Amino acid sequence: MSTKRLFYIAFFAVLVIGFYLAMGQLIPGFTTQVIKPLGTIRPFTFYNQNGQAVTEKAMAGKVTAVEYFFTTCRGICPRMNNNMRKVYDTYKGEKDFLILSHTCDPLNDNPDQLKRYADSMKVDTNKWVFLTGRKDSLYNMARHVYKIDDPKNNVGSIDDDFLHTQFIALVNKKGDVMKVYDALKESEIKELKDDIARYLKQ
């Protein structure tokens, strides 16, 4: 092969690599692998700490971190919410960011109880919203939409069913559930924060 031909091959290779790197800087996500969503948000109606209805429309155009907990939990929930607090503190100033914390125990976690819990957390409840509702609807969302609990965990009677999970789901601005993180692991909380930053740019 001639020296001239080698020069042209090398020249065009450099151009292609340069274009690829430049597009990666100009267009967030251009150089990253396409990630297939785990699920997509379905219509829902739950009630926040003020007793107001909250629907899937609250998530439109927002990057949303989703978890399940209950206010009287003395096990994993305090650790989860301490870590979620780090996420909140990082992104509470972002207009397109939201946290939805659903109760696993709607029988006891009515809006008044959630309000007391939210007040104890001293957070902006426009950015970090605490939700209750029908138990079956809450659990179906957790298992079939957010994918933070195994659907096979359903038991015969909803009254006997109990969901207790340490996982956080991340939803992008289009309503796609993109990833699930272990809220008890510092490394995954860091990964969650990094991913939030990336999806906020999209």
The length of the chain, given as a count of residues: 202
Phi, psi of 66 (to 5 degrees): -125, 135
The answer to whether 31 touches 20, Cβ cutoff 8 Å, is yes
Enumerate the β-bridge partners of residue 98.
64
3-state secondary structure of 26: helix
The answer to whether 121 touches 87, Cβ cutoff 8 Å, is no
Distance CA 168, CA 192 (A): 9
Q: Answer yes or no: is 102 a known binding residue.
A: no
Distance CA 72, CA 67 (A): 16
Q: What is the DSSP string of 153-178?
A: G--S-TTT------EEEEE-TTSEEE
Count of alpha carbons within 13 angstroms of residue 192, beta-carbon side: 32
Q: Answer yes or no: is 144 a known binding residue.
A: no
Pairing mode, strands 39-40 and 63-69: unpaired
Residue numbers belonging to the annotated binding site: 73, 77, 164
Residue numbers belonging to the annotated binding site for Cu cation: 73, 77, 164
